[in-house]
Amino acid sequence: MALADTALILQYMQQAVDVVLTGEHADSKVSACAFHPEQPEIPAVATVSARPDCLKGHFAWDARIGASSQFIHAELAALLKFGGNLRGAHVCVTDPFCPNCAKNMAEAGVRAIYIDHKGFQKDFIARNGDEFKTMSMLIAEKAGISVFEVNRKAGTVTPILDQQATTRPASTAIEFFDIADGMTLESAMQTFKNRLGTREAWTLAFVKERDGSPRGLLVFEALPPGITPEDYRTRGTDTGKYRFPIDPLTRLGIITRRMGMTLLDPRIGCARLPSSRSLVNALGMGISNLLLASAQPDHDPLGLAAITLLRDKKILNVSEMT
C-alpha cells in the first residue's frame, strides 16, 4: 500500500542524498529527510547527522561525551528541525536505521521509513546488521511503522515491512498534573521524589500545552510503543550497544514536540543522572538546564563523566536538589 506518492518519496530521498557528504563526521555519513504527506505545505527537511551547535566551539568532532558521540543521528535531527506534525511524519534515510533512531521515530509517531538501497551495501549494515534485524525492525513493526527500500535509479519504492494498520499503539508511561498555586519545579520534584523514589528514571517538566494551559508533565523510562517486557527479555538485549527502553529525558523532548508543548520553565527535573546519549540528545533539543533529584547514574556508568564535562564547560546548567 502506497503511503505517499512515489515521485515525492524519490524526490525527498534525493534531498537526503544531496546533503550526505556535507556532514562533519568523517566516518559516518548518514542523512535523512522528514516530511508529512498530509501537510504538503510544510517544507521537507533534509539533514546529516550533526552536532548541537553548543558543542562545536568546545570539542573536536570526534571527542566523546561520556559514552556517547556528540552527533544527533540524522533521523532525529531531521524530525527536530521539521516544522510539521511529528505524528504521521515520514522519514527518508540513506542507511538502515539504528535501534536508537527506531525508538525515537516510534516515540515521535512516525508512520513510514524509506531506506536508500545503497545503504544496505554500506558500512553500518555490515557492522550492525544484526541489531537492524533484531531490534530496529522489531521496534518499527510493533509501532506500526511501514519500512520501504528506495531505488532512486530504478525509480522504485519496495516494501520491506508493509503495515496496513490504521491505528498505532500510543506511547504510554507519561502523566500530567496540575501546577498548584505556589508550586515550583523544586517543590514538584520533591513531591514526586517522595512518591516515586529515585530507583527508576523519570523526568519532570512544566509545560504549556497547545491550547495555552500550563501543565506538569511526568515522563518515565519506557519500552517503545508495542514492545512488550517479553520482547525485552528475549530479543536483542545482549548486544551491549543498544537497549530497548527509551530514556525519559529523550522521551520528554520528543513528546513535548509531538504534542506541540513548550517549556514554561527551562529546567527539566531528572530523578537520576541521565545517560550520556540522552544528554547529547537533550542539547540537540535545546534543553540545557537540569535539576537532579539524585546523583545516581541511570543505566550508563559514564553518565557522571558526561555531565561533569558538560557542566565544567558551562554547556549544561546542572543543579542538585538539597
Q: Does 98 bind Zn ion (CB under 5 A)?
A: yes
Shorter beta-carbon distance to Zn ion: residue 73 or 272:
73
How many residues sit in the footprint of Zn ion (CB under 5 A)?
A: 3
Shorter beta-carbon distance to Zn ion: residue 129 or 214:
129
CB of 95 to Zn ion, least distance (A): 8
8 A C-beta contact, residue 81 and residue 286: no
CB of 99 to Zn ion, least distance (A): 8
Shorter beta-carbon distance to Zn ion: residue 47 or 217:
47
CB of 98 to Zn ion, least distance (A): 3
CB of 248 to Zn ion, least distance (A): 19
CB of 207 to Zn ion, least distance (A): 26
Q: Does 140 bind Zn ion (CB under 5 A)?
A: no
Which residues are CB-contacts of 187 (< 8 A; sequence separation ≥ 6)?
none
Q: What does residue 128 show for φ and ψ, rounded to 5 degrees? A: -125, 25
Shorter beta-carbon distance to Zn ion: residue 13 or 207:
13
Question: 10 Å Cβ neighbour count for 238?
Answer: 6
8 A C-beta contact, residue 105 and residue 171: no
Q: What is d(CA 186, CA 207) in angstroms, rounded to the nearest whole number?
A: 15
8 A C-beta contact, residue 102 and residue 95: no
DSSP 280-305: HHHHHTT--EEEES---B-S-TTHHH
Among 29, 73, 111, 243, binds Zn ion (CB under 5 A): 73
Q: What is d(CA 101, CA 77) in angstroms, rounded to the nearest whole number?
A: 10
Q: Does 103 bind Zn ion (CB under 5 A)?
A: no
Residues within the interface to Zn ion (CB under 5 A): 73, 98, 101
